[in-house]
Structure 1
Amino acid sequence: MYREVGVSAVFGVIFLLLFIPLQAYLGKKTSVLRLKTALRTDERVRLMNEIIQGIQVIKMYAWEKPFGKLVEKARIKELKVIRYVSYIRGILLSFIIFSTRVSVFISLVAFALLGNVVTAEKAFVITSYYNILRQTMTIFFPQGIAQLAETLVSIKRIEKYMLYDETDIGRDDVPDDRTSENSSNDKVPNSTQSTITKGSIEDMKYIDSHESLADVGKGNGIVNPVGITIKELVAKWDPLVAENTLQDVSLQIKQATLMAIIGPVGAGKSSLIQAILGELPSSSGAIDVNGVVSYASQEPWLFSGSIRQNILFGQPMEKRRYREVVKRCALEKDFSLFANGDKTIVGERGQSLSGGQKARISLARAVYRQAAIYLLDDPLSAVDTHVGRHLFDQCMRNFLRGKVVILVTHQLQYLQHADQIVILDKGRILDVGTYESLKESGLDFAKMLRESKEDGKMEEEETRSRSGSKTYQRRISETSLESLDQTHDTPVQTEEGRKEGSVGIGMYKKYFQASGGFCAVYWMMLFCVTAQLCASAGDYFLTYWVNKEEQRNVQELMARMSNDTVDVRVNVTTGEDFFGKILKFVGASEEYNNYVDIYIFTALTIATVFITLSRSFIFFNLAVRAAKVLHNAMYTGVTKASMFFFNTNPSGRILNRFSKDMGQVDEFLPTVMIDVIQIFLSLAGIIVVVAVVNYWLLIPTVVIGIIFYFLRDFYLITSRSVKRIEATTRSPIYSHLGASLTGLSTIRAFRTQRILVKEFDSLQDLNSSAFYVFISTSRAFGFWLDVFCVIYIAIVTLSFFLMGDAYGGNVGLAITQAIGMTGMVQWGMRQSAELENTMTAVERVVEYQTVDPEGQLEATGDKKPPPSWPEEGKVTFDRLSLRYFPTKGADAVLRELEFEIKPREKIGIVGRTGAGKSSLINALFRLSYNEGCIIIDARDTGSMGLHDLRKKISIIPQEPVLFSGSMRYNLDPFDEYADEKLWKALEDVKLKSVIQDLPSGLQSKISEGGSNFSVGQRQLVCLARALLRENKILVMDEATANVDPQTDNLIQATIRQMFADCTVLTIAHRLNTVMDSDRVLVMDAGKAVEFAPPFELLTGISGSGIFEGMLKETGKGTYEQLLEVARKNYETIHQSNV
């Protein structure tokens, strides 16, 4: 350029060089903002994960709105940073349009002001040079900075993760090439199903045989005897908390020992198990574990797959042992109830099964494994008396005889059969000894024994899929399965649906409507078009100026040759030139000097810069608004969806929409869309300019346009489908990671990390394959676009040779514009295709906005109950039937129930597995599809709003759910109550001292899922919530399942006192909790078979003997004790009535 225009070139290059520090600054700013965006996106996604996991509890508490405010708050913080990042991207994109033009302007104006003549040769040669520099300086360089910033953010996040302390728990160094015969009949499941059994059974078999060398019971010559030695162990979960979880714990557990660990809620029982597993880090002391360990967790962990896969957990199939384990774990009857036996598919976290079934499958997995040490964390908490006795006698005492068995339990009636008993309290061992020695010791243990009123607990809720019925549960698709001896493929979870064909214009309309409506879009497009008009006008004006200068130069030369005197201000004939007509129209003099040209060129250049920047800010502002509206609409759609939606969609699939798809809408889509708009307007400007110069060039332009259209259409057919495949193969990765993190302690205890890693690799490979296929198709598309662009440039160039042109400016303009169009067309076509591919993310987000809602949240008019409703608490079931599937022809789980619950009556609900107890709760809260009606205080609950109903019924769910945030928020998300009332509720449930000991009291932070509280403590928090709501109707679903008997008795007394004037429905998992009920409802196969006072049912006055038979299974002593309780309560009620 210096050779062409001399020192003038330096001024333009300096302008471009000035962009480097600006771009570097913007790049650094982008890096900082991207890190902030990632952190705030993580926070929002974590919150959404909690909401999806606890959606049933949220619905029953009518907490959708407060959680919506939390999500909205997190979303606003996230979008605030995204907006800044978008503005920076807009500035960098604007540089592409005006940087070259401003540089050309500066160089040419400087060249003209220095007294030189601007010719076509000089003008368009330096324009070509600047176009080359533009590619580097304004496109690739800022893109490189942005990509580097993104990379640095990712590297820092990965580095932070990689620098976390690692654990040696369950680590194995067995080579990958060690294999053995696979004797399992299970086939490898489809790769889209998130199971933990795929492709690694051989490795697992070797690992088991390798580890079993430590088992001296096999006579393998290991010197150290099997057992566990704990010496002065001090451990705590949070190193920042002063109080230790375990304090000075010392134990010696020898081979062939059945040890029971007991203690009140929060005593440290589960923490001791976790310490033995190596999950709880020790501050001091030592744990020596000799022997292979197997583990059954307190909260049973199941993954999406068949029951058999959950039991085998990657171990080889040994039919004799498998059958024996199934029998010992009392699963034979359950398998007979399932149409598909042990090949029945369980959903994510096993939600298609009852709590008792999940506990027994988890126990079967632990028992099936050949181990020397078995850690059983309260597996008897969710089974009825008969099953509990069977598990203890046949499994733990008999089948595991000769092994080390450590049993955490609240079932004190089994303690007399334990070899050793450990009493824990506040992390310390109070005493260790045999049953007899502790009973005679005078410790609180004896008091606990005396206060234990029953032999066991009823198994919790039934499975919702019984023999002969098809029920769709959370995250499952139950299809036909075969029995144990058959070898058909295990069925897989239903794959995520994909739409076919192009993304319709309607999807673009929805996106633009979300951005602020068509008026806002109109103004944005007006700025875009105006910016391009200014840019193209500047390009064409340059041609006009060059042609005029050349014409003047020719006239000067001719005048000199004829010895005529020529004035510097010549009469330039503009002919039909566009700008010549404009100047004539506005009355400009035909004789004017160079300064007028410079003023016009300057005005057009400044207008281009200003309008282009304004266009970018307006567009990205609309894009952020669209992202906000779409996210809020999707959240509303998902939270208003029925439980059937959550029953049939894995959490990873739902979360995928809120994370990856929403991320595409937030950041990638706006960049691609503005790029497409900018490129196609630029192409339109180029075509217009070239056509003005030589209208015959419109013919090849139209032809090449048609070719490009068909190329793009052909490419999109493939790329769109591949993009959708990539999105759907991403969901199983999220589900797999979620399941793995939830069951981490079980996975480590079984040393099955390799199986999980292999499955993750398989799922990731599938997703990566789709991604790289997409990239390959994109590159192939770009190659063919380049080929046709070269042909088009050749045609444009040759056309001037064939036709000839009087003006060099016209030739230069057409050729430089065509050359500049080459990369632009390729990139534009690829980006337009990418735009449609990215719009599939909008399509997927909008799809969840339109999920069928479960009903109106708030009723209006006469249908809305008064604030004081219900005044009495009378509940009437009128021909009520319930189904879980929305199709009306689906099998009913409850069948035409007709009974009435009187005001303030205390009702116990009992029944065997599959009876319909929890389905009754679902019907009351309208979580499923009801036929018939439920009337509360003369109002049909089916006609009122869901929140109108659910806010008026208190629920203590079986699976306690806490959310991350403060304890205060978990108790009172609406801020309706004073702190004094919250403390009173915590005191009533015996949690006040626990919360007071926390550093921040009510403001203390709760970990995700409430993991920093024990299961029993979480259940007590749920009880405190019920106390605060002060409703007339209370439903308790195993409210005290995970607390010790002493705490249970205290809480039962609290409930009787605090809810004396309320209607209370209690699903009985401990029969002693319903003996003082006014009446007991006995459910069987979805029908109410008995409904009378417990004393009448036990003495044959009423009923058919079902309830009496259930109570007799607890043993003669317990039966007589509870019969006496029922008699006294019956007499008290009748005396009061008299």
Structure 2
Amino acid sequence: MKSDNIAMEDLPDSKYLKQRRLLTPLMSKKVPPIPSEDERKAYGEYHTNPISRMMFWWLNPILKVGYRRTLTENDLFYLEDRQRTETLYEIFRGYLDEEIARAWKKSQESSDDPREFKLPIYIIPLCLFKTMKWEYSRGILQKILGDCASATTPLLQKKLINFVQVKTFSNVGNTGQGVGYAIGVCLMIFFQVLMLTHAFHNFQISGAKAKAVLTRLLLDKSLTVDARGNHYFPASKIQSMISTDLNRIDLAVGFAPVGFVTIFPIIICIALLIWNVGVSALVGIGVFIANIFVLGLFVSSLMLYREKAMVFTDKRVNLVKELLKNFKMIKFYSWENSYQDRIENARNNEMKYILRLQLLRNFVFSLAFAMPVLASMATFCTAFKITDGKSAASVFSSLSLFEVLSLQFILAPFSLNSTVDMMVSVKKINQFLQHKDTNPNEFSVEKFSDSTLAIKVDNASFEWDTFEDEEKDYEEEAKTKDNIEDEDHNCATETIKGKITVDYKSDSDSISSTLTKGVKTAFPGLNNINLEIAKGEFIVVTGAIGSGKSSLLQAISGLMKRTSGEVYVDGDLLLCGYPWVQNSTIRENILFGLPFNQERYDQVVYSCSLQSDFVQFQGGDMTEVGERGITLSGGQKARINLARSVYADKDIILLDDVLSAVDAKVGKHIVNTCILGLLGGKTRIMATHQLSLIDSADRMVFLNGDGTIDFGTIPELRKRNQKLIELLQHQRDPGQDKEDLSNDLDIQGSTDEGQQIEHADEHKEIVKIIGDEEKAVNALSFQVYYNYCKLAFGKLGYISMLVFIIVSSLETFTQIFTNTWLSFWIEDKFVSRSKNFYMGIYIMFAFLYAIMLCFFLFLLGYFCVKAAERLNIKASRKILHVPMSFMDISPIGRVLNRFTKDTDVLDNELLEQLIQFLSPLFNCFGIIILC
């Protein structure tokens, strides 16, 4: 829903809007123009002076433009060859192949069974590091220098505090010396910030490159993986890996080094603490070391909960994609409630593990955040018990050291969490990469040269691979992990299965194929096929339903696994099968990247009976067909698909039941003017159940139903094939139409043969169907934050919010007052009180802070998880009940992204961002109030 005060940007048309910022009234009203493609500049970091690179001034021009108007693609830098994905991928692929070969060799030495080989989990991170080693190593060095600077800054702070103390009470000392200490502290902080900023800049750039490289890796693998890999990793699962798992790897590349370079500032801090407060510092250091072991105990649990959650995440994404791809059918059969139950059930199971994961993660965070207070408490209590000396400079510089030390432990859980998520994602990617590639020898079609033959199949046999039910795999995996039974889901699945039949032509994510995977068909494959088809012949392939007509065409095309024999082809071959259309104009669907030839195009459009369809559309053939051709009828899709194949002008064309979705009159026109006319000189093989066409064919292939074929002229087969005779006896009476050529009547596609086609205009304007994606600019509306809080706090609403505010206030108060009480102790504010009085209250506040911090993070984690759960369920309910017109103008990828990447942000990333935002915010409020 659009908010009234959020401007929207029309991305595809590169329109831009003025930004409304704080300083906008003070700036020029002239809006910077959008540069042309030639005016774009190279990525500026490598083409600027050292000072500009150090201070990031090279970004100023683009920041100025972005402050005054929304940015467009042409405002951004273009990438040089060394930064492009193609270059990085070639380097990465070389390292990956080398590491895989080394791991395989090592595996062969230790085991004789190649099936036991598994890709080591370290291979992908190692190859990523090798690919970006210089950039990443520079970032690690900068992180070490920045951390070392932060660890040594308390030395100057101690000198400064000592100077101020002496100057205040005895007025002794050179003022310039104190100014020098102050300047030194500022310079150290500046150097620290500079190094850490550059370090995280390099880490984030490396993360973006890693994501781009792995995206290319997954896409390449998806195009070559074998049938088993395609079954267990369907398109929805691959899309989930690209949108969710790679995003986690991207984040981990930025955070993982933080946990590995902490050793340097930790050593410095420990040494300075011992120098500051003596051996008492070892007590506080012991608390930190104990904390490390405690954090280590939770690593396996974090990974376990993440893996369990991902099982149901993949299941939920599969259901949502299935819903979006079959939206019209679900609406037609009123299956909204059934699908909603299945999606909500998967989401609820997913959120059970995410809630456990977030609560455990926040417990780890609470330990890390409380460490400086608990460690300093242990150190100072021990020190003050041993000696009465309490130097303000030593105490507060030690507090700074404990803060630096704790920062490493605060960042460590983030690093640990991102590393755990990365390793789980890498493990999943490894499982996909471990599937074998398609064996080209099993699908190859040999080229040969023959003066008379176009196709020769020599004693060849073919089969389809069969696998277990994927839905069953999901449930078994989940039950193995946690014994969860999903009775409602099973009932819904069985109900829907009972209403759907298998359609081999549907894509892998349709209802027909998804819900019936693993159902073993009676089709045995094709056995001992021998064919010799002459050039220019018209061959009809027919047989009973399910006998393998389409399989034979796919076998000839090299799309069905060959177990024996050979297939030879002389010329270019094209298979016209499932009526697929892309989200583009009708003309672009027909041309499919080929040059536009007016005469050829008009002939194709007329022969495929499309001219009268063009009249129906506002933009004619320049009308967009919508997502998956949603605005087209079945007959229109079939004829556009046929037109694409005819326009390609190949030597051999295989037609798979292209007349099944058109009426008798249109079918007759297509047969006469297209198949027997425009394609007259081509080799044509047509699979059909329309027996009225067999008399037009030169010869016929009849599928017997047992995997064998009978090939010959029609009179020959009528004499010797009893099954063909029986099939012919089921034809209609002569008084009726010879065939009902339509499963989906499309009478508006009819045309008189003499009708003249209106010539297409090559420069006609495109009529768009798909709506442009909207992008929010300027500030978010308060309503957005209000709605999120409303979903987070649930039915209790204000009561939950009040409890959260009280816990947050107590957490902030105990944290601040712990240090305040320490200052009271140092100056002995209450003279009549004993040392034990100060120590007891100090210990009490320290432990109260740790407890309240844990409660605060638990509540925040619980509310965020509930908000994410309710938002996702609310979105799924909304999408299930939107009108078809919404889906007509919305690409599936755009909608699916809300249920993958955006949902992952709500589930995992937003909570960490809120912790980093709310903790210092509450501290600022607390300091202001207490002061």
| TM-score under structure 2 length normalisation | 0.60
2:739 to 413, 438, 456: 456
Q: Does 1:502 align with 2:779?
A: yes
What is the CA distance between 1:400 and its match in structure 2? 2.2
* Other-structure match for 2:275: 3
- Counterpart CA distance in 2 for 1:483 and 1:43 is 49
Question: Cα gap change, 1:230/1:662 in structure 2, threshold over 3 Å: closer, same or farther?
Answer: farther
1:234 to 449, 454, 462: 462
* Other-structure match for 1:80: 352
* Other-structure match for 1:147: 418
Question: Cα gap change, 1:7/1:366 in structure 2, threshold over 3 Å: closer, same or farther?
Answer: same
Q: Is the 8 A contact 1:338 1:465 kept in 2?
A: no
> Secondary structure, in 3 states, of the residue corresponding to 2:340?
helix
Larger Rg computed on CA atoms? 1
What is the CA distance between 1:393 and its match in structure 2? 2.3
* Other-structure match for 1:98: 370
- Counterpart CA distance in 1 for 2:658 and 2:429 is 38
* Other-structure match for 1:13: 285
> Secondary structure, in 3 states, of the residue corresponding to 1:316?
coil
Q: Is the 8 A contact 2:458 2:529 kept in 1?
A: yes
Q: Is the 8 A contact 1:311 1:368 kept in 2?
A: yes
* Other-structure match for 2:621: 342
- Counterpart CA distance in 1 for 2:442 and 2:912 is 45
C-alpha RMSD of matched pairs (Å): 2.9
Alignment of 1:1046-1065 (within 5 A): none
Question: Cα gap change, 1:683/1:466 in structure 2, threshold over 3 Å: closer, same or farther?
Answer: farther
2:791 to 507, 511, 514: 514
Q: Does 1:63 align with 2:327?
A: no
Alignment of 1:893-912 (within 5 A): none
* Other-structure match for 1:361: 640
Alignment of 1:495-644 (within 5 A): 495-515=772-792, 516=794, 517-548=797-828, 574=829, 580=830, 591-644=832-885
What is the CA distance between 1:271 and its match in structure 2? 2.1
Q: Is the 8 A contact 2:448 2:569 kept in 1?
A: no
* Other-structure match for 1:484: 760
* Other-structure match for 1:561: none
- Counterpart CA distance in 1 for 2:318 and 2:837 is 62
Map Cα deviations across residues 961-1015 of structure 1 (whole Å, 9 max, x no partner): xxxxxxxxxxxxxxxxxxxxxxxxxxxxxxxxxxxxxxxxxxxxxxxxxxxxxxx
What is the CA distance between 1:44 and its match in structure 2? 0.4
1:159 to 421, 430, 435: 430
Map Cα deviations across residues 135-183 of structure 1 (whole Å, 9 max, x no partner): 22221x22222222222233223333233333477999xxxxxxxxxxx
Question: Cα gap change, 1:486/1:82 in structure 2, threshold over 3 Å: closer, same or farther?
Answer: same
| Aligned pairs, number | 591
Map Cα deviations across residues 717-771 of structure 1 (whole Å, 9 max, x no partner): xxxxxxxxxxxxxxxxxxxxxxxxxxxxxxxxxxxxxxxxxxxxxxxxxxxxxxx
- Counterpart CA distance in 1 for 2:546 and 2:744 is 25
> Secondary structure, in 3 states, of the residue corresponding to 2:465?
coil
Question: Cα gap change, 1:464/1:23 in structure 2, threshold over 3 Å: closer, same or farther?
Answer: farther
What is the CA distance between 1:223 and its match in structure 2? 8.4
- Counterpart CA distance in 1 for 2:705 and 2:807 is 69
Q: Is the 8 A contact 1:374 1:405 kept in 2?
A: yes
* Other-structure match for 2:499: none
* Other-structure match for 2:201: none
Q: Which moved more, 1:151-160 or 1:619-628?
A: 151-160
Q: Does 1:681 align with 2:922?
A: yes
* Other-structure match for 1:246: 525
Q: Is the 8 A contact 1:27 1:142 kept in 2?
A: no
Question: Cα gap change, 1:136/1:225 in structure 2, threshold over 3 Å: closer, same or farther?
Answer: farther
Question: Cα gap change, 1:303/1:640 in structure 2, threshold over 3 Å: closer, same or farther?
Answer: same
1:405 to 680, 684, 695: 684
Q: Is the 8 A contact 1:355 1:461 kept in 2?
A: yes
What is the CA distance between 1:96 and its match in structure 2? 4.4
Map Cα deviations across residues 72-99 of structure 1 (whole Å, 9 max, x no partner): 1100111112112211331233234311
1:645 to 876, 881, 886: 886
Q: Is the 8 A contact 2:576 2:654 kept in 1?
A: yes
* Other-structure match for 1:1005: none
- Counterpart CA distance in 2 for 1:78 and 1:147 is 19
What is the CA distance between 1:659 and its match in structure 2? 1.7
What is the CA distance between 1:528 and its match in structure 2? 1.4
What is the CA distance between 1:398 and its match in structure 2? 2.7
Q: Is the 8 A contact 2:636 2:749 kept in 1?
A: no
Question: Cα gap change, 1:685/1:620 in structure 2, threshold over 3 Å: closer, same or farther?
Answer: same
What is the CA distance between 1:251 and its match in structure 2? 2.7
Q: Does 1:34 align with 2:306?
A: yes
Question: Cα gap change, 1:434/1:465 in structure 2, threshold over 3 Å: closer, same or farther?
Answer: closer
- Counterpart CA distance in 1 for 2:674 and 2:546 is 27
1:370 to 644, 649, 657: 649
- Counterpart CA distance in 2 for 1:89 and 1:657 is 25
Q: Is the 8 A contact 1:306 1:344 kept in 2?
A: yes
Question: Cα gap change, 1:93/1:632 in structure 2, threshold over 3 Å: closer, same or farther?
Answer: same
* Other-structure match for 1:136: 408
1:115 to 387, 396, 403: 387
Alignment of 1:744-893 (within 5 A): none
Structure that is richer in helix per residue: 2
What is the CA distance between 1:365 and its match in structure 2? 0.8
Question: Cα gap change, 1:332/1:413 in structure 2, threshold over 3 Å: closer, same or farther?
Answer: same
Map Cα deviations across residues 861-896 of structure 1 (whole Å, 9 max, x no partner): xxxxxxxxxxxxxxxxxxxxxxxxxxxxxxxxxxxx
- Counterpart CA distance in 1 for 2:698 and 2:423 is 58
What is the CA distance between 1:108 and its match in structure 2? 0.4
* Other-structure match for 1:275: 555
Q: Is the 8 A contact 2:546 2:705 kept in 1?
A: yes
Map Cα deviations across residues 682-701 of structure 1 (whole Å, 9 max, x no partner): 22334456xx4xxxxxxxxx
Q: Does 1:667 align with 2:896?
A: no
Map Cα deviations across residues 476-499 of structure 1 (whole Å, 9 max, x no partner): xxxxxx972332454553212234
What is the CA distance between 1:665 and its match in structure 2? 1.7
What is the CA distance between 1:535 and its match in structure 2? 0.7
What is the CA distance between 1:430 and its match in structure 2? 4.5
* 5+ residue gaps, structure 1: 173-210, 217-221, 468-481, 549-573, 575-579, 581-589, 693-1138
**Identity percentage of aligned residues:** 27
> Secondary structure, in 3 states, of the residue corresponding to 1:431?
strand
What is the CA distance between 1:450 and its match in structure 2? 2.6
* 5+ residue gaps, structure 2: 1-272, 469-519, 751-757
- Counterpart CA distance in 2 for 1:489 and 1:155 is 46
- Counterpart CA distance in 2 for 1:290 and 1:168 is 22
Map Cα deviations across residues 580-623 of structure 1 (whole Å, 9 max, x no partner): 5xxxxxxxxx6332111111111111111111111211221122
- Counterpart CA distance in 1 for 2:746 and 2:804 is 56
* Other-structure match for 2:115: none
- Counterpart CA distance in 2 for 1:215 and 1:484 is 39
What is the CA distance between 1:38 and its match in structure 2? 3.0
- Counterpart CA distance in 2 for 1:632 and 1:239 is 32
Map Cα deviations across residues 187-238 of structure 1 (whole Å, 9 max, x no partner): xxxxxxxxxxxxxxxxxxxxxxxx9x9797xxxxx88953141523031231
1:61 partner letter: Y
- Counterpart CA distance in 2 for 1:439 and 1:365 is 35
Question: Cα gap change, 1:110/1:250 in structure 2, threshold over 3 Å: closer, same or farther?
Answer: same
- Counterpart CA distance in 2 for 1:23 and 1:287 is 61
Q: Is the 8 A contact 1:169 1:279 kept in 2?
A: no
* Other-structure match for 1:312: 591
* Other-structure match for 1:352: 631
Q: Is the 8 A contact 1:383 1:460 kept in 2?
A: yes
> Secondary structure, in 3 states, of the residue corresponding to 2:575?
strand
Question: Cα gap change, 1:370/1:269 in structure 2, threshold over 3 Å: closer, same or farther?
Answer: same
